[in-house]
Amino acid sequence: MSNHSYQEIAVNLLIPFANHPFKLYDDHRLDDMEESIRANGVHTPIIVRPAPSDEGKYEILSGHNRTEAAKKVGVETVPTIVRKGLTDDEAMFVVTETNLIQRSFTDMLHSEKSVVIAVHYEAIKKKQGYRSDLLESIEGTGATGEQVAPKLKSADKIGEQYSLSADTIKRYLRVNKLIQPLKERLDNDCFGIVAAVALSYLNEKEQQIVDKVLGESGKIGIGQAKRLRRESETAKLGISSVREILHPEKPLKAVKPFKIKTEIVSEYFVNGESDDEIENVIAEALRAYFKK
């Protein structure tokens, strides 16, 4: 038995996907879509599922912009493909894949890329692979699953699909652990990917404090982000400590880079310790020294 059906559904029964991760149109593209729908109606069906927490309504998986444009021009019903029996993970998979079909991965924001990669990575971990039937009947895919890569097995394979290195894939997996306000700051160039990775190691409450302290136009440098991570690992970050790091009263003078002699390092560390572990120990020792 098919797990999908075609229906005309009233737009007032359609609700957005919970925590929809993709930016909706808010410029001339929405205006163009409105004009097209006003003249021709909605031809490409949107994809929905019965809303899990709102009986009688439908959650949009694909077609948020079309639905919004239809509402604005007074269209009362839109053609839909209703997908039944989807888990939340499968629903998110449809959300990400249909967005990839509609636009290029390279055109996505950092936060959007992080969601796409995380969804695919989780699908692989759970051995779901790519269920081509989830995309069945979507206009533009041709044969079922034609635009979907075969089952992937690692960050290297995902990187191959998106022309990214495995390290970059891992960074995006970390970025997806940021709270939404910090993801938006990343998209708005308040900080870069390296800083975003460091911030992703803060717990949710600490990230909320960082967002609050930053205010409307605050920016974070790589050094600040890494210091926040170190402080989070060694002590509890609060508003005062975050403010001290992000808004120091006196700007620190740049220190000329230097290397610690090998004989000094080898006196206290063994070969098995990583650079990060050595750096953390030295930083902790310096903090204890200057505290005295």
Count CA atoms within 13 Å of residue 26 on its CB side: 3
Tell me, yes or no, whether 283 lies in a domain.
Answer: no
108 and 141 fall within a common domain = yes
Q: Which helix (H) or strand (E) holds 261?
A: none
Tell me, yes or no, whether 276 lies in a domain.
Answer: no
Judged against a pLDDT cut of 70, whether residue 85 lies above it is answered with yes
E-strand spans in 74-193?
A: 77-83
Distance between CA atoms of residues 51 and 22, nearest Å: 19
3-class DSSP state of 158:
helix
106 and 168 fall within a common domain = yes
Q: What tokens appear for 110 in the block? A: 């950092």
Angle ∠(212,214,216) on CA atoms, nearest 5: 90
CA distances from 51 to 4, 44, 111, 286 (A): 14, 21, 25, 55
pLDDT digits (tens, 9 = 90+) for 5-34: 788 999 899 998 887 878 777 778 788 888
Judged against a pLDDT cut of 90, whether residue 86 lies above it is answered with no
Distance between CA atoms of residues 212 and 216, nearest Å: 9
Distance between CA atoms of residues 251 and 211, nearest Å: 21
Q: What tokens appear for 105 in the block? A: 């991965």
Q: In this structure, what CATH number is given to the domain that contains residue 78?
A: 3.90.1530.10
Q: What tokens appear for 292 in the block? A: 């005295």
Label residue 148 by pLDDT band (50, 70, 90): very low
Tell me, yes or no, whether 203 lies in a domain.
Answer: yes
What's CA 177's distance to the chain center, in Å? 8
**pLDDT computed for residue 208 by the predictor:** 95
Count CA atoms within 13 Å of residue 84 on its CB side: 7
| Percentage with pLDDT > 70 across the chain | 83
Judged against a pLDDT cut of 50, whether residue 112 lies above it is answered with yes
Q: Which structural domain, as residue segments, surrounds residue 221?
A: 191-246
Tell me, yes or no, whether 212 lies in a domain.
Answer: yes
Q: Which of 145, 143, 120 is nearest to 131 (CA)?
A: 145
For 258-286, letters b (16+ CB in 10 Å) and e give: eeeeeeeeeeeeeeeeeeeeeebeeeeee
Between 239-246 and 204-214, two packed helices, what is the crossing angle to 10 degrees? 50
4 and 49 fall within a common domain = yes
User: Is the Cα torsion angle 91, 97, 100, 101 positive or negative in sign?
Assistant: negative
pLDDT digits (tens, 9 = 90+) for 264-292: 877 788 777 777 778 888 888 887 776 55
3-class DSSP state of 78:
strand
Between 110-125 and 166-175, two packed helices, what is the crossing angle to 10 degrees? 100
9 and 82 fall within a common domain = yes
**pLDDT computed for residue 18 by the predictor:** 83
Question: Between 136 and 177, where is the model more confident?
Answer: 177
Tell me, yes or no, whether 288 lies in a domain.
Answer: no
E-strand spans in the chain?
A: 4-10, 14-15, 46-50, 58-62, 77-83
Distance between CA atoms of residues 15 and 63, nearest Å: 11
**pLDDT computed for residue 134 by the predictor:** 53
79 and 10 fall within a common domain = yes
Question: Between 107 and 112, where is the model more confident?
Answer: 112
Judged against a pLDDT cut of 60, whether residue 83 lies above it is answered with yes
Query: Of the candidates 228, 246, 264, which is a domain's last residue?
Result: 246
DSSP per position, 240-283 = HHHHHHHS-SSPPPPPPP----HHHHHHH--TTS-HHHHHHHHH
Number of independent structural domains in the chain:
3
Judged against a pLDDT cut of 90, whether residue 137 lies above it is answered with no
Label residue 255 by pLDDT band (50, 70, 90): low
**pLDDT computed for residue 37 by the predictor:** 87
59 and 120 fall within a common domain = no
Query: Of the candidates 28, 54, 86, which is a domain's last residue?
Result: 86
168 and 212 fall within a common domain = no
**pLDDT computed for residue 33 by the predictor:** 85
